[in-house]
Homo-oligomer: A and B are copies of this chain.
Amino acid sequence: MGTTQLESVPEPKYWHLKTVLSDALDSEFAVGEILPNERDLAARFGVARATLRQALEQLELEGRLQRRRGVGTTVAPPRMGVAVGDAGHVWPGAATDSWQAVDGVEAAPPAAVARLLGTGAEESVHTVRRIRRTHGQAVAAELLYVPAASVPGLAAIDAPGGAARARAVLRELQRLQLEGQERSVELGSARADDAKQLDRLPGSPVLVVTTRYSAGGGTAAVAVATYRADTCRLTFDGLLAG
């Protein structure tokens, strides 16, 4: 008894640091501005560099900061909204979308995708790689899996591979009657190849959007799109009357 209520819970240093930095970002820094380097910041707050980094990591996760090796830490602009909702309920590759076909090959999909497609474990499917750009920046990398049965007209084309073949697959898809699509969103970490295309380090947090396209009573295609979690806010369009 007698002790006045002051101790409270020992809030972690990095947590307190994060709130202090967050307030400073709001009041004292402009978007794009460069922060002092990590060693200076750590010294200024009287903590080890690792602790300071823990706070910066959180702020980067929340999209408040952007860190680039060899360059520095800058104040990030607000996240951009990117529409993943069904703008018009169309197949991937419609003329209006913001994706760019990069490559197309034939290969066996990951087990999880094969399960969604309902194909055999080792059965190879058309695999199209696309990139989505918004305001000049790459925001998402996608792998689209299309079983040969979904695009019967494609055999005649026989493009060698590469972007031309990718476009051919997308073109054939448009012929089908799209009956529905199911989507899911979850947190993931960027694989090495995706990270490279998104200009991020491997392992950086991404939002993985998996879409199952239905046609002819079955699954005609599956898309796995990897969005940069630091810069993107996924938007789903109004679902009733607008």
Contact = CB atoms under 8 A, between A and B. Distances in A.
Interface of A: 15, 18, 58, 61-63, 79, 81, 85-86, 89, 178-189, 202-203, 205, 207, 214, 229-230, 232-242
Contacts of A182: 235-238
A187 B15 contact: no
B235 A183 contact: yes
A211 to B, nearest CB: 9
Contact of A239 (B61, B86, B203): B86
A188 B62 contact: yes
Contacts of A180: 238-242
A58 B189 contact: yes
A202 B61 contact: no
A49 to B, nearest CB: 13
Of the candidates A81, A86, A189, the one having the most CB atoms from chain B within 10 angstroms of its own CB is A189
B232 A186 contact: yes
This chain: how many copies in the complex?
2
Contacts of A235: 182-184
Nearest to A179: B241
Contacts of A214: 238
Contacts of A179: 240-241
6 pairs of A and B residues whose beta carbons are closest in the complex: A187-B229, A180-B238, A186-B233, A180-B240, A183-B236, A185-B234
Contacts of A240: 89, 178-181
Contacts of A15: 202-203
Of the candidates A18, A62, A184, A205, the one having the most CB atoms from chain B within 10 angstroms of its own CB is A184
Contact of A79 (B186, B203, B230, B233): B186
A103 to B, nearest CB: 21
B181 A239 contact: yes
Contact of A185 (B89, B181, B185): B185
B205 A205 contact: yes
Given A15-B202, A58-B189, A205-B205, A184 B239 contact: no
Of the candidates A182, A186, A234, the one having the most CB atoms from chain B within 10 angstroms of its own CB is A186
A25 to B, nearest CB: 15
